[in-house]
């Protein structure tokens, strides 16, 4: 009986974790679309080839590994609201980490392109 209870508790904990992760992702995408619909700067940090295969309207393509250099070259204010996205949210997270280290303060990781397009508002 104790083993059965332990198994059920473990399963419930896993289900709660999965639901929390899904809710967090939906929130990330919903926040991104609220910002996008309000006209914030949108940066696609994927490769030029990925960008050419489809991207959010009006997004700029700045690969994640040159984000700081390009933000500086473009004169993007360090407190400007910017939504960044990639394929999964990983590269946009890396770009945000580098940009934050460089002093940018108002960045949002919109996650992955497909997820954003699924949540498009």
Where are the domains positioned within the chain? 2-118
* Marked catalytic residue, from 67, 86, 107, 116: 86
Q: Supply the pTM of this predicted model.
A: 0.79
Which stretches within the chain are classed as H helix? 2-37, 48-52, 67-74, 90-101, 113-118
Class of domain 2-118: alpha beta
With a cut of 70, say whether residue 48 has pLDDT above it: yes
pLDDT confidence band for 120 (50 / 70 / 90): confident
With a cut of 50, say whether residue 105 has pLDDT above it: yes
> 26 catalytic, yes or no?
no
Backbone angles phi, psi at 36, to 5 degrees: -60, -45
């Amino acid at each position: 009986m104790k083993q059965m209870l332990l198994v059920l508790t473990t399963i419930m904990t896993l289900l709660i974790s999965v639901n929390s992760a899904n809710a967090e992702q939906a929130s990330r995408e919903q926040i991104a679309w609220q910002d996008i619909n309000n006209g914030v700067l949108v940066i696609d940090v994927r490769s030029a080839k990925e960008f050419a295969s489809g991207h959010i309207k009006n997004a700029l393509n700045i690969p994640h590994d040159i984000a700081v250099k390009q933000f500086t070259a473009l004169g993007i204010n360090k407190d400007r609201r910017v939504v960044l996205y990639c394929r999964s949210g990983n590269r946009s997270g890396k770009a945000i980490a580098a940009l934050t280290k460089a002093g940018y303060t108002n960045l949002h990781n919109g996650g992955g392109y497909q997820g954003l397009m699924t949540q498009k508002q």
